[in-house]
Structures are given as C-alpha cells and as structure tokens.
Amino acid sequence: MNEKTSAKVFNYFIFFGMLVCVLIASVINIRNNPDNTALQIVVAVGAMFGVTSTILAAQGNILNFVIGALGAVIETYVLWKNGVTSMFLLYLLYFIPMDVVGFLNWRKRGASVHKEVKAQRMNGRKWLYVALGYIVVAGVAFCISYFAGHNNLGSGIPAKMITDALATSATIVAIVMMTMAYMEQWYIWTLVNISNIVLWSVNLATTPDSAYTVVMLIKYAFYLLNGLNAIRIWLKLSAKEEDLQV
C-alpha cells in the first residue's frame, strides 16, 4: 500500500468513525429531547462539516476554511437558539471571521483546491508571542468562567472549569496559527484534544451513566489521531517550503 492510498484509508477511517460518533450522539440527544429533533439534525450536519474541515486542514487543503465556515455558521445558529450568549458571540465575532482571514492568507501562500498551502515554521520569538498570548487569553477565559459561575462554585474551583478555560484558550491561539499556516499549530491542536479528553474523562467519572460523554471521548480520540497525522504531513510541507527558500 503506497502513501497516497494509506492517507486515503486513514482519512476515511477518521471521517466514518466520526460519522458514527455524531449519529450515536444525535440519537441520544433526540431520545432525551424529542421536541428538538429538527435542531439536533442541524447540529449533526454542522458537526460533520467540522469533521470534514479538520481532515482537509490536516491535508493543507484551503477548502477547510470554506467547509469550516459553513459548520461555524450552523454552530452559531444553534448557540443562538439555545441562548448560549458567550459562545454565540465567540463564533460570530471570532471563528467565522477567522475562516475568512485564513482563506485569504492561505491563498497568498499559494494554496488552491488542488495545491497544498506553503506551510511555515515558527522561531523562538514567535513561540514567545504564542506563549504570552495564550497566558493572557487563558486568564481572561478563566475569569469569565469564574465570575459567570461564581454563585454555583461552593467552596472550590472545579477542575472542569480550569480545563475548559485552558482548552478554549488553546483553541483560540491554534486558530490564529492555522490562519498563518504555521506547522506548529498541530502541537497546540494536540494539546487541545488531550485537554478535551481529560475534560470529558472528568465528566465521565462524575456521570458514569452518560452515553453522550463516552461518544465525546471517542470523538476527541479521533481528533487526536487526525492531529498527530497532521503533524507528520505538515512537517513535510514546511520542510519542502524551507528547502525552496535555501
């Protein structure tokens, strides 16, 4: 089996594995909330847009921003319908615009439907900026979560709140790195996926009878596999670009 065939098999595995997870999660949600069946179907469609976008991003394909924007629009609508104001604004004012910015930046870096983006690597100074940016964003995210849920905290700060703030902040930073086509974004996505696995593992420990939690764990395990594969692909893409500049 050559490399191209292996890549296709792996992508099909990720896609259909995620499709099964989304379908199971949708069935669980529809059973629990039969009155919201139509909305749950919309959520499932949006989730598959997200999965497809992630797979395309790992391949360095510019269409990931188009598919990702469609998924983000659907997610924005769902958040609005459910009255989740903070996340609704995050999607509306950050995730959707960043898909547009990413598409334009990748085009400048030579990406097209049939050609991968010219990936680049980060130096020490840029890593410092990323670290400082992450600390600031994580601090803001934690403060928002803390004060929003202050009345329900009791005597301590839940581990779930800390993990959620760290994962959300890492996602925000990783998206910026993705729009700039930095290979190292996939290290951050790996941390995001691991954080979410920890987050849902904590949730499973507190609610062991939740089938939906198990589905989410499996979902992020697939994302982690896709991200690790992306590191391999983007190392080659960025090395190819460095060779051209020598």
Given a cut of 50, is residue 213 above it in pLDDT? yes
- What is the per-residue pLDDT for 121? 93
Given a cut of 90, is residue 66 above it in pLDDT? yes
Given a cut of 80, is residue 60 above it in pLDDT? yes
Measure CA 231 to chain center.
15
**Average pLDDT rounded to a whole number, residues 142-159:** 63
Given a cut of 70, is residue 229 above it in pLDDT? yes
For the chain, what percent of residues have pLDDT higher than 90?
Answer: 43
- Domain ranges across the chain: 3-245
In sequence order, the 6+-apart residues with CB closer than 8 A to the CB of 95 are 72, 75, 76, 175
What letters, b where the CB count within 10 A reaches 16 and e where it falls short, cover 187-203?
bbbbbbbbbbbbbbebb
CA distance 93 to 98: 9
In sequence order, the 6+-apart residues with CB closer than 8 A to the CB of 1 are 9
Mean pLDDT over each residue of the chain, to the nearest integer: 85
Q: What is the largest CA-CA distance in the chain?
A: 61
